[in-house]
């Protein structure tokens, strides 16, 4: 007898889903078994948060929702960390949670809580699958997760519904497309404002990266000679090596970036989502023109000269119809400022330091590579230093900004980019959160190179404590005098303490087709200067 779980597995397969990430339980076994019979790989993780992170990254790389699965109660709670990541990092994701039988819903029962109350604040929609509406629920979930602005959607699955027989299905009718976002926007006011500006600056962000707007925005910047800044997740939409790209806002040595754009008399925010960093956190004393798929969010609306809300691709197409407009930027000066920033990110230090790791890794990674990196002090360096950022190859969490993202992100990236070399950089704090996923890596055989920056502390918090003149407290992770392990759940770990040793270990790791860990014991003192 075919069940509603079979119907759900069929719906996933038709939509291109070939991996579901999660942990099985008695309440979701019917679904897990249906996935097996439909030919969908169930990727067992060590923690449900990882399942959410992996589904998020699949959504980013594949352009359609990734799927994660949990049991009820504690499993569903664990998975919210990864689901929230997809919600604020704007990644299409469908989260499936097992639930008690309908007869027990609302009663005092082991592990039972109302999942929709838990998931509603971190999803675009939270629903329950009912008999006769499996396809309707799946179709709605996938549409909502993927439509602009993408994000997470949640479906609760009562055990008796999933194990029950298929009944007549509700016919799903695709809603009318929102033409208001796809129509060609009127950018006449933007052209008028741009003609009056002497020193315009363009800011790009997560929408620009997600929407693949880089080529069009590069043409726009070149046509008008406009310097560009980006957020972390927007970096790479315009090549970091481009002469007009002057840096990342809110990251290492960002003061130098702000010095470069201090004379700006207009900021053009194109594909800029303030979920990463609010405009007012970095903008010079200049008016703003905001162009994105959602209205502006800023604390001083008087700074907003104009805004155009439209589909991202339509925005860029319309902007590139504006004929060339000259401005007063001196490109020689911009080049000098960019070189000054590049040099300042690499202080002269005698000890093996984080920036040495980043430079050597960028130098040695092959052309076809993916980098995932975690949240912490090193994020600030990588965001500003890395020059090979590109769509689908530069993975970080910034809207949600969750430690622990990088390890599961790298595993998912390797599953979906098997011909690329995937490297992961994480601090020892982030790695401790996800060390259990080394068992997942060993089981899957995904040849990720995990680089752990070992300094024994939560270094970003240490920097912030010092700036606020707070005594270092609550930041020490372990006793650095104790020897480091040479393997984690069977994945071998190399311990390096110098640039030469790191270069050798990395070269051997890149030649191998097996997962490995490189523990780079670094001096974190440069963080106090750079952040």
Asked if the structure places residue 193 within a domain, the reply is: yes
Q: How many residues does the chain have?
A: 531
Residue 177 — very low, low, confident or very high, per pLDDT cuts 50/70/90?
low
pLDDT digits (tens, 9 = 90+) for 339-367: 999 999 999 999 999 999 999 999 999 99
Same domain, 292 and 410: no
Whose structure tokens read 């790009």? 204
Can you give the pLDDT at residue 240? 96
Residue 78 lies in a domain: yes
Tell me the residue range of the domain where 82 lies: 4-163
Q: Is the same domain home to 55 and 114?
A: yes
**Statement to judge: residues 253 and 322 lie in one domain:** yes
Q: What is the pLDDT of residue 301?
A: 86
Confidence of residue 174 (pLDDT cuts 50, 70, 90): low
DSSP secondary structure string for all residues of 263-324: T-SEEEEES--TTSS-GGGT--SS-EEEEESS----S-GGGEEEEEE--HHHHHHHHTTSPP
- Whether 175 is in a domain gets the answer no
Q: Residue 487 belongs to a domain with what CATH number? A: 3.40.50.970
User: Is residue 172 a part of any domain in this protein?
Assistant: no
Number of structural domains the chain divides into: 3
The answer to whether position 169 is within a domain reads no
> Is the CB of residue 272 less than 8 Å from the CB of residue 217?
no
> What percent of the chain has pLDDT above 70?
98
* Same domain? 439 vs 455: yes
pLDDT tens sequence across 453-507: 999 888 989 889 898 999 988 888 887 777 788 889 999 999 999 999 999 999 9
Task: Indicate whether 369 and 295 sit together in one domain.
Answer: no
- Asked if 386 and 321 sit in the same domain, the reply is no
CA distance 451 to 358: 10
Q: Please determine, for residue 297, whether its predicted confidence score (pLDDT) is greater than 70.
A: yes
Tens-place pLDDT, residues 73-82: 999 999 999 9
256-263 long-range CB contacts below 8 Å, 24 or more apart? Answer: 256/337, 256/340, 256/341, 256/344, 257/229, 257/341, 258/282, 258/284, 259/337, 260/227, 260/334, 260/337, 260/338, 260/341, 261/201, 261/227, 261/229, 263/199
Decide: 95 and 152 in contact? Cβ < 8 Å.
yes
Q: Are residues 258 and 313 in the same domain?
A: yes
**Is 174 a member of any domain?**
no
Same-domain status, 288 and 354: no
Q: What is the DSSP string of 40-54?
A: PEEEE-SSHHHHHHH
Global confidence as pTM: 0.95
- Check whether 513 has a pLDDT greater than 70: yes
Residues 292 and 209 in one domain: yes
The CATH number for 196's domain is 3.40.50.1220
Whether residue 477 contacts residue 432, with contact meaning beta carbons closer than 8 Å, is answered with yes
Q: Are residues 385 and 500 in the same domain?
A: yes
Examine residue 170 and state whether it is found in any structural domain, yes or no.
Answer: no
Domain contains 40: yes
**Residue 252's pLDDT is what?**
96
Q: Do 151 and 230 fall into the same domain? A: no
Mean pLDDT of the chain: 94
């Amino acid at each position: 007898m075919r069940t509603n779980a079979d119907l759900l597995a069929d719906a996933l397969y038709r939509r291109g889903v070939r991996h579901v990430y999660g942990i099985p339980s008695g309440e979701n076994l019917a679904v897990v078994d249906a996935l097996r019979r439909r030919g969908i790989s169930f990727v067992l993780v060590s923690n449900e948060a990882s399942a959410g992170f992996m589904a998020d990254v699949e959504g980013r790389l594949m352009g359609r929702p990734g799927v994660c699965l949990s049991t009820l109660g504690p499993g569903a709670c664990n998975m919210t960390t990864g689901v929230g990541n997809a919600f604020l990092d704007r990644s299409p994701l469908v989260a499936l949670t097992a639930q008690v039988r309908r007869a027990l819903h609302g009663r005092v029962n082991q592990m039972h809580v109302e999942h929709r109350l838990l998931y509603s604040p971190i999803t675009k929609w939270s629903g329950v699958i009912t008999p006769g509406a499996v396809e309707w629920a799946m179709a709605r979930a996938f549409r909502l997760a993927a439509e602009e602005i993408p994000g997470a959607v949640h479906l609760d699955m009562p055990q008796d519904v999933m194990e029950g027989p298929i009944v007549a299905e509700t016919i799903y009718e695709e809603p009318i497309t929102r033409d208001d976002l796809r129509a060609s926007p009127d950018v006449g006011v933007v052209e008028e404002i741009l003609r009056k500006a002497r020193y315009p600056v363009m800011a790009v962000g997560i929408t620009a990266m997600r929407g693949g707007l880089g080529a069009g925005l590069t043409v726009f910047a070149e046509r008008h000679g406009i310097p560009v800044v980006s957020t972390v997740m927007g970096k790479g939409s315009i090549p970091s090596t481009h002469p007009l790209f002057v840096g990342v806002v809110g990251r290492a040595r960002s003061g130098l970036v702000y010095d470069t754009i201090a004379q700006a008399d207009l900021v053009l925010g194109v594909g800029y989502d303030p979920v990463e960093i609010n405009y007012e956190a970095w903008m010079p004393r200049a008016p703003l023109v905001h162009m994105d798929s959602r209205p502006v969010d800023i604390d001083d609306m008087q700074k907003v000269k104009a805004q155009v809300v439209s589909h991202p691709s339509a925005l860029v197409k319309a902007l590139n119809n504006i004929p060339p407009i000259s401005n007063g930027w001196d490109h020689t000066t911009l080049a000098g400022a960019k070189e000054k920033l590049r040099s300042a990110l690499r202080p002269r230090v005698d000890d093996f330091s984080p920036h040495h790791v980043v430079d050597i890794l960028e130098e040695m990674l092959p052309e076809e590579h993916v980098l995932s990196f975690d949240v912490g002090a090193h994020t600030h360096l990588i965001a500003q230093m890395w020059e090979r950022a590109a769509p689908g190859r530069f993975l970080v969490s910034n809207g949600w900004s969750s430690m622990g993202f990088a390890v599961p992100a790298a595993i998912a990236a390797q599953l979906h980019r098997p011909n690329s070399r995937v490297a992961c950089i994480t601090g020892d704090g982030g790695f401790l959160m996800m060390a259990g996923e080394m068992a997942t890596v060993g089981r899957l055989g995904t040849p990720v190179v995990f680089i752990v920056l070992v300094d024994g502390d939560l270094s970003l918090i240490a920097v912030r404590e010092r700036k606020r003149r707070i005594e270092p407290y609550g930041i020490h992770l372990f006793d650095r005098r104790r020897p480091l392990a040479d393997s984690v759940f069977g994945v071998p770990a190399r311990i390096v303490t110098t640039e030469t040793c790191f270069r050798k270990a990395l070269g051997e790791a890149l030649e191998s087709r097996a997962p490995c860990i490189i523990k780079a014991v670094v001096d974190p003192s440069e963080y106090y200067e750079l952040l």
